[in-house]
């Protein structure tokens, strides 16, 4: 077994950043296709998390698509479950299931539901979507690893809107108190949530200072710069004395001009015309665009 693992990429000289960029582009195209055909879902938060998920699954995390329940695999708790189109695409392109299945998103009987379901789809480590709970789930997994004397990591990818939830801070305090350094955490900080901007809904700034006050080490990055993401993920997983969190500054709807920082696309899928426009911006072929448009009612 040769799992996809970070230990095979110990220096940036061995990392194909161009390839990672191409994978991220493919995932963005998948997100638009899935949501365009489905007619509902969450494009904004899917696109903001795309680059982070790409580097995690195609370079950093220890996992094996041929053995999804491998006991020593790294876990990922994708706390912002509504952004699952990007997660589903990453899993499919990593080899967990056929990419053809992606176009069944939210269809009756499809394992690709509107939020991840651990019972129905290979590669999902936690059923998420009830916002604020993911960091607690990751903490439980990390504690289990300690008890079982396992060295896997319990990655947590959380959203900025979730910072409004008290449970996030309860988990943050618990993780720091227990010195659970095996919970590398990433905040997808795109500055928006369902009701509007995070600043106007419930401003949580200074975010970095809050995490530090809870006993965490922090690092801020551009959440769309593949090299910065790679370096930060190597940093966060190397925690020794205290848990670490990456504050990834991202753009909601990243990659599609009319979706970027446009909160109308928080939970609204693109229309047929918008799907066509988005795929053209993302460089999709005319033949593939025509095929996708033919599947949209």
In order of start, what are the domains of the chain with their CATH numbers? 17-293 (3.40.50.970)
Q: What is the pLDDT of residue 81?
A: 97
Judging by DSSP bridges, how do beta strands 75-78 and 185-189 pair with one another?
A: unpaired
Average pLDDT value over all residues in the chain: 95
Per-residue confidence at 11, pLDDT binned at 50, 70, 90?
A: low
Considering only CA atoms, which of 123, 63, 60 is closest in space to residue 97?
123
Bond preceding residue 164 cis, omega within 30 of 0: no
The pLDDT tens digits of the residues spanning 284-295 come to 999 999 999 999
Predicted pLDDT at 134 = 98
Give me the mean pLDDT over the 62-88 stretch: 98
pLDDT at 78 over 60: yes
What gap in Å lies between CA 17 and CA 3, rounded to an integer? 19
Report residue 297's pLDDT band, with 50, 70 and 90 as the boundaries: confident
CA distance 2 to 23: 20
Can you tell me the distance from the alpha carbon of 86 to that of 64, in angstroms, rounded to the nearest whole number?
A: 19
Provide long-range contacts, Cβ within 8 A and 24+ apart, for 13-16. 15/59, 15/230
Over residues 90-117, the mean pLDDT reads 97
5: pLDDT strictly greater than 60: no
Interval 224-271: pLDDT, tens: 999 999 999 999 999 999 999 999 999 999 999 999 999 999 999 999
- CB 59 within 8 Å of CB 230: yes
For residue 7, pLDDT over 50 is answered with no
Q: Cα dist. 200→80, 194, 204, 233 in Å? A: 20, 12, 10, 30
Can you tell me the mean pLDDT for 47-67? 98
| Confidence label for 34 from pLDDT (cuts 50, 70 and 90) | very high
């Amino acid at each position: 077994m040769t799992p996809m693992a970070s230990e095979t990429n110990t220096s940036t000289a061995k990392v194909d950043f161009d390839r990672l960029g191409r994978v991220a582009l493919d995932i963005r195209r998948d997100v638009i296709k899935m949501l365009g055909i489905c007619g509902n879902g969450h494009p904004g938060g899917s696109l903001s998390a795309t680059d982070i998920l790409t580097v995690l699954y195609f370079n950093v995390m220890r996992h094996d698509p041929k053995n999804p329940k491998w006991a020593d695999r790294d876990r990922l708790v994708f706390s912002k479950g509504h952004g699952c189109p990007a997660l589903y695409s990453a899993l499919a392109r990593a080899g967990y299931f056929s990419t053809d299945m992606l176009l069944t998103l939210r269809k009756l009987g499809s394992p690709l539901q509107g939020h991840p379901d651990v019972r129905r789809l290979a590669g999902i480590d936690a059923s998420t979507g009830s916002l604020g709970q993911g960091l607690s789930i990751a903490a439980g997994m990390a504690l289990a690893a300690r008890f079982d004397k396992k060295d896997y990591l319990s990655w947590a990818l959380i959203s900025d809107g979730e910072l409004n939830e008290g449970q996030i801070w309860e988990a943050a305090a618990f993780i720091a108190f227990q010195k659970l350094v095996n919970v590398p955490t990433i905040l997808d900080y795109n500055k928006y949530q369902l009701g509007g901007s995070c600043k106007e809904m419930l401003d949580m700034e200074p975010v970095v200072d809050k995490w530090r006050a809870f006993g965490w080490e922090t690092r801020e990055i551009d959440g769309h710069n593949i090299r910065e993401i790679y370096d930060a993920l190597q940093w966060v997983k190397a925690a020794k004395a205290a848990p670490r969190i990456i504050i990834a500054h991202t753009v909601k709807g990243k990659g599609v001009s009319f979706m970027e920082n446009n909160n109308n696309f928080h939970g609204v899928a693109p229309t047929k015309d918008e799907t066509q426009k988005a795929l053209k911006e993302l460089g999709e072929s005319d033949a593939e665009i025509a095929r996708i448009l033919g599947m949209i009612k």
